[in-house]
């Protein structure tokens, strides 16, 4: 079973992180508070040739949890969740969309695929080969807990074409390199535009110092994937949720340093005979609401377990960031 993309460090502050963008060239295009029977929210922001859509199911005028989709030329990077698909289609009215590239298979990133495909029959959907079975049959291949149904809803089945590591996706003005970056999900990919220095990082990097992890995530692969994108000359990092980063090298390096230090501390405590529960309390602090909301699918203990799975190997020095 695949867990959805809930970055614990950003869960509580997710909605308020979107009250403004911290760059003078980020222009708010529109805010749409409601659509039809579902209280949903959309904010569209212009980012120097990129349109960013922040999408969330709402309650009492506030977004419960925002995820992000992007439009570059005629290509969408992710499409948000099923609940917000009608608003996304409204926002895309009159715009040409020829391609969708899904960063990974979680329902908060693929939920608009089906409605977009119906409105644009010639649309091509691209994703890593490991994502294709889920896109084709999400109900069977990616069962969801109640909180995921409430926040994001069931995606419609859609057919997609495979996108491999090293492939290139071209739009009218840009050329994107596909980088396989597993860890958050086995099929996760990032898109890199070397001419502009853009990295679309999906849920590999959403910022923050994580204190919990999804039960299906692999923290060692996350660190290795972060090191992969850390080598890329970049000017802008565009995550699948949370704010855009204008100093990618510094922020990615900080995240790697934090995770490696945290992992070393967890392993040291384990060698001293501390239990997983005790280590989780010591290094990650008290219980968080997200653990109760997800019924333990996203937890401090999962983070500890994932680090301990690779405790017999030297992960820190075998794959340095610097080339």
List the domain boundaries for the chain: 8-258
Q: How far apart are CA 13 and CA 103, in angstroms?
A: 23
pLDDT at 7 over 70: no
pLDDT at 301 over 50: yes
Q: What is the pLDDT of residue 319?
A: 52
Q: What is the pLDDT of residue 312?
A: 62
pLDDT at 3 over 50: no
Q: What is the pLDDT of residue 25?
A: 45
Among candidate residues 301, 305, 285, 302, the one with its CA nearest the CA of residue 12: 285
Name, in order, each residue with C-beta under 8 angstroms of 62's C-beta and a sequence gap of 6 or more: 15
20 band by pLDDT with thresholds 50, 70 and 90? very low
Name, in order, each residue with C-beta under 8 angstroms of 133's C-beta and a sequence gap of 6 or more: 141
Q: What is the pLDDT of residue 23?
A: 47
What's the gap between Cα 5 and its chain centre?
6
Q: Which residue has the tokens 């384990």?
A: 270
CA atoms within 13 A on the CB side of 281: 4
Name, in order, each residue with C-beta under 8 angstroms of 91's C-beta and a sequence gap of 6 or more: 30, 32, 42, 44, 53
173-198, pLDDT tens digit by residue?
999 999 999 999 999 999 999 999 99
Average pLDDT (111-132) is 97
* % residues pLDDT > 70 (the chain): 83
201-247, pLDDT tens digit by residue?
999 999 889 999 999 999 999 999 999 999 999 999 999 998 999 99
pLDDT at 22 over 70: no
155-169, pLDDT tens digit by residue?
999 999 999 999 999
254-295, pLDDT tens digit by residue?
999 999 999 999 999 999 999 999 999 999 999 999 999 899
57 band by pLDDT with thresholds 50, 70 and 90? confident
Residue 231 near residue 321, CB atoms below 8 Å? yes
CATH number attached to the domain at 8-258: 3.60.15.10
Residue 168 near residue 99, CB atoms below 8 Å? no
* Arithmetic mean of pLDDT over the chain: 87
């Amino acid at each position: 079973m695949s867990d959805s993309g809930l970055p614990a460090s950003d869960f509580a502050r997710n909605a308020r992180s979107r009250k403004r963008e911290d760059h003078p060239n980020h222009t708010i295009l529109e805010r749409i508070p409601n659509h039809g029977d579902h209280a949903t929210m959309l904010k569209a922001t212009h980012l120097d040739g990129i349109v960013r859509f922040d999408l969330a199911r709402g309650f009492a005028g506030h977004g419960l949890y925002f995820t992000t989709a992007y439009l570059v030329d005629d290509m969408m990077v992710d499409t948000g969740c099923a609940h917000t698909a009608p608003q996304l289609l409204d926002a895309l009215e009159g715009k040409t969309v020829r391609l969708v590239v899904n960063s990974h298979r979680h329902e908060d990133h693929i939920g608009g695929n089906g409605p977009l495909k119906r409105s644009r029959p010639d649309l091509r959907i691209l994703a890593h080969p490991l994502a294709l079975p889920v896109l084709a049959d999400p109900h069977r291949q990616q069962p969801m807990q109640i909180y995921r149904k409430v926040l994001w809803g069931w995606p419609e089945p859609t057919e997609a074409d495979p996108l491999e590591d090293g492939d290139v996706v071209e739009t009218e003005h840009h050329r994107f390199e596909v980088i396989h970056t597993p860890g958050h999900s086995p099929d996760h990919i990032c898109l890199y535009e070397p001419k502009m220095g853009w990295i679309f990082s999906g849920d590999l990097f959403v910022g923050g110092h994580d204190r919990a992890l999804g039960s299906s995530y692999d923290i060692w692969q996350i660190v290795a994937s972060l090191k992969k994108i850390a080598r890329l000359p970049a000017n802008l990092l565009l995550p699948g949720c949370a704010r855009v980063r204008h100093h990618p090298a510094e922020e990615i390096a900080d995240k790697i340093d934090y995770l490696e230090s945290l992992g070393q501390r967890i392993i040291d405590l384990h060698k001293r005979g501390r239990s997983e529960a005790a280590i989780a309390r010591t290094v990650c602090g008290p219980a968080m609401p997200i653990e109760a909301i997800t019924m333990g699918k996203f937890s401090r203990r999962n983070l500890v377990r994932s680090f301990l799975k690779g405790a017999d190997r030297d992960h820190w020095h075998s794959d340095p960031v610097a080339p």
